[in-house]
């Protein structure tokens, strides 16, 4: 009897142990699925942050794993961990293809997600994607799922993978033999999963009975809703699928990545990405809204420097103008200046010097000779040269402005900084060219005006001529300033004037 009780007790202990083991297995099973992305350098850091925020906004509690290489800084790793990512260090897999773009050097590293065997299933997302609606149903997918694009080619930006050490080793044994039409991982995966184009479409709403009654598919195709390419949007300025059902947006248009400030002014779907970015929390000091503390200091410096440069230029010009004007005024006698003002008033603002000791005919002849002499010194090519210099200065100013402004600032900040720097650089370069022309014209005019032989009247006439020259220069400066102000207002409106409104929705 005692032996029976002991056997029964032992059986109950074993049963209890198996029961608790099953519970722990189910609990661990809930954490055996994860979202995964890759980070090769800090350039894509902001993209990973926004991706993680978008996943958490859908209510997902699953692990978020980022595989980082040696090119990622410690600051980026700490920031991602603070955002809730699990950071795993990996070594890069060299691309075996000799003919490939330089940016594809380490893309074969993506194949390592097939070796993440501590997870039963992973959903891989490129750093330039964003989740707009829950994608938890992707974990119901088969052993391998992806989306078809590019003339029945598989896109590796969004994939569902059931990790397997056997599959990974098989891949590694074929990386040097299988052809890659892209020269990267996507081309290799298309060759490895050769029959993927014929795979059935993934249906997430099937009942559990139906899913359990059939074998697990080796491959399944994902709907475009799980990998909506912005290239589709650009074809017709709208999505080719039901926008309300979109799950993942993929920003694939080459250099037009959503974290580059100018992209927000070219592609409307970037608004979705920017809205999530603005909601990023300050997990480390100065990182709220996707900001970078270093970029903030650079932005303040870039904002103040053009203003200081413009103020200095205007101040120097004002001081020089005051010296020229008051210098001439002081060199003439008080009586001469009073007579000059009096005759200008009688002539209604014109210049009449017939009663100041110089005959009208001599003044007319002198003026004609002065005019003819100065005109003969102006080269015919000056107008064309000025136009060439103007356009060159505009192009150089715009290029330098784009070069100095950080790429990942907020869209309005980037636009205003580029506008400010373009205007300032153009003002200084083309303005400097006009100043040189003015100096050259002034010296040429002075040489042409040396024909006067009347020494007494020459001092007075040259004084008046210099006054007229200073006045003309003053008016020209005002015209130039007003012209630059008009350009500053008109330039941003040019796209709308030319009817380019689809690319500039704001």
Three-point CA angle 224, 227, 231, nearest 5°: 90
What phi-psi label fits residue 235: left (phi over 0), alpha (psi between -120 and 50 degrees) or beta? alpha
Asked whether residue 218 falls in the same domain as residue 107, the answer is yes
Q: What residues are paired with 220 via a beta bridge?
A: 145, 200
Asked whether residue 272 falls in the same domain as residue 400, the answer is no
Residue 50 falls within a domain, yes or no?
A: yes
Who wins on pLDDT, 472 or 382? 382
Is the pTM higher than 0.85? The answer reads: no
Asked whether residue 322 falls in the same domain as residue 225, the answer is no
Q: Are strands 153-161 and 121-125 parallel, antiparallel or unpaired?
A: antiparallel
Asked whether residue 198 falls in the same domain as residue 86, the answer is yes
Question: Can you give 325-386 as a three-state secondary structure string?
Answer: HHHHHHHCCHHHHHHHHHHHHHCCCCCCCCCCCCCHHHHHHHHHHHHHHHHCCCCCCHHHHH
Residue 157 falls within a domain, yes or no?
A: yes
Is residue 75's pLDDT more than 90? yes
Asked whether residue 221 falls in the same domain as residue 310, the answer is no
Asked whether residue 128 falls in the same domain as residue 115, the answer is yes
Asked whether residue 166 falls in the same domain as residue 246, the answer is yes
Q: How far apart are CA 195 and CA 158, in angstroms?
A: 18
Residue 109 falls within a domain, yes or no?
A: yes
> pLDDT per residue over 456-504, tens digit each?
444 444 444 545 544 555 555 556 666 666 666 666 666 566 554 444 4
Mean of pLDDT values over 147-154:
81
Indicate the SS3 state at residue 40: coil
Mean of pLDDT values over 431-445:
81
Supply the CATH number for residue 111's domain. 3.90.550.10
- pLDDT-derived band at 444, boundaries 50, 70, 90: confident
Among 285-299, 363-377, 473-487, which is the least confidently predicted range? 363-377
| Residue at which a domain ends, from 291, 318, 349 | 291
Who wins on pLDDT, 269 or 17? 269
Asked whether residue 307 falls in the same domain as residue 405, the answer is yes
Structural domain harbouring 125: 33-291
Looking at residue 491, its pLDDT comes to 65
Looking at residue 457, its pLDDT comes to 47
Looking at residue 358, its pLDDT comes to 40
> pLDDT per residue over 183-221, tens digit each?
778 889 999 998 898 888 998 887 777 777 777 788 999
Q: How far apart are CA 273 and CA 259, in angstroms?
A: 8
Residue 229 falls within a domain, yes or no?
A: yes
Is residue 223's pLDDT more than 70? yes
Asked whether residue 248 falls in the same domain as residue 302, the answer is no
Who wins on pLDDT, 315 or 56? 56
Contact 46, 277 (CB under 8 A): yes
| Residue at which a domain ends, from 291, 312, 340 | 291
pLDDT above 70 covers what percent of the chain? 67
Asked whether residue 315 falls in the same domain as residue 220, the answer is no
Q: How far apart are CA 138 and CA 82, in angstroms?
A: 26
Looking at residue 275, its pLDDT comes to 95
- pLDDT-derived band at 30, boundaries 50, 70, 90: very low
| Half-sphere CA count of 404, side-chain side, radius 13 A | 22
Asked whether residue 244 falls in the same domain as residue 299, the answer is no
Report the domain count for the chain: 2
pLDDT above 90 covers what percent of the chain? 35
> pLDDT per residue over 404-415, tens digit each?
999 999 999 998
Asked whether residue 303 falls in the same domain as residue 274, the answer is no
> pLDDT per residue over 316-342, tens digit each?
776 666 666 555 555 555 556 566 655
> pLDDT per residue over 90-133, tens digit each?
988 877 776 555 666 667 889 999 999 999 999 999 999 999 99
Looking at residue 489, its pLDDT comes to 62
Q: How far apart are CA 335 and CA 339, in angstroms?
A: 6
């Amino acid at each position: 009897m005692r032996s029976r009780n002991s056997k029964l007790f032992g059986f109950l202990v074993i049963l209890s142990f198996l029961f608790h083991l099953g519970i722990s297995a189910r609990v661990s099973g809930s954490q055996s699925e994860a979202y995964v992305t890759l980070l090769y350098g800090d350039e894509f850091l902001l993209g990973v942050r926004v991706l993680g925020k978008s996943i958490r906004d859908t209510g997902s509690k699953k692990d978020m794993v980022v595989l980082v290489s040696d090119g990622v800084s410690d600051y980026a790793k700490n920031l991602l961990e603070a955002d809730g990512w699990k950071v795993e260090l990996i070594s890069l897999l060299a691309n075996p293809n000799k003919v490939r773009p330089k940016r594809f050097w380490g893309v074969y590293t993506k194949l390592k997600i097939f070796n993440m065997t501590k997870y039963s299933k992973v959903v891989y997302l490129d750093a330039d994607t964003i989740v707009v609606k829950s994608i938890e149903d992707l974990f119901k997918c088969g052993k391998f799922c992806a989306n078809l694009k590019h003339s029945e080619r598989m896109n590796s930006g969004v994939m569902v993978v059931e990790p397997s050490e056997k599959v990974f080793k098989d891949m590694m044994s074929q990386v040097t033999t299988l052809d890659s039409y892209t020269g990267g991982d996507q081309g290799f995966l298309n060759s490895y999963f050769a029959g993927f184009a014929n795979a059935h479409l993934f249906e997430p709403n099937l009942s559990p009975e139906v899913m359990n009654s059939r074998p697990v598919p080796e491959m399944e195709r994902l709907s475009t809703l799980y990998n909506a390419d912005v290239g589709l949007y650009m074809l017709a300025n709208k999505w080719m699928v039901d926008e309300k059902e979109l799950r993942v947006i993929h920003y694939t248009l080459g250099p037009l990545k959503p974290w580059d400030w100018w992209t927000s002014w070219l592609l409307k779907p970037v608004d979705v990405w920017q809205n999530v970015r603005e909601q990023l929390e300050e997990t480390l000091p100065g990182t709220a809204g996707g900001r970078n503390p270093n970029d903030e200091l650079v932005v303040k410096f870039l904002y103040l420097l053009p203003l200081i440069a413009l103020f200095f230029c205007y101040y120097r010009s004002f001081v020089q103008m005051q010296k020229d004007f008051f210098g001439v005024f002081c060199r003439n006698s008080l009586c001469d200046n009073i007579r000059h003002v009096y005759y200008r008033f009688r002539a209604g603002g014109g210049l009449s010097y017939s009663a100041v000791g110089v005959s009208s005919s001599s003044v007319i002849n002198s003026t004609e000779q002065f005019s003819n002499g100065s005109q003969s010194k102006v080269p015919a090519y000056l107008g064309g040269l000025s136009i060439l210099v103007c356009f060159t200065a505009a192009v150089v100013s715009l290029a330098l402005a784009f070069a100095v402004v950080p790429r990942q600032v907020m869209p309005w900040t980037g636009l205003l900084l580029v506008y400010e720097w373009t205007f300032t650089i153009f003002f200084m370069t083309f303005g400097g060219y006009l100043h040189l022309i003015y100096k050259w014209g002034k010296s040429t005019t002075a040489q042409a005006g040396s024909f006067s032989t009347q020494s007494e009247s020459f001092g007075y006439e040259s004084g008046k001529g210099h006054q007229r020259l200073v006045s003309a220069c003053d008016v020209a400066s005002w015209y130039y300033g007003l012209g630059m102000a008009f350009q500053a207002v008109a330039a941003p409106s040019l796209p709308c004037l030319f009817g380019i409104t689809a690319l500039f929705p704001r």
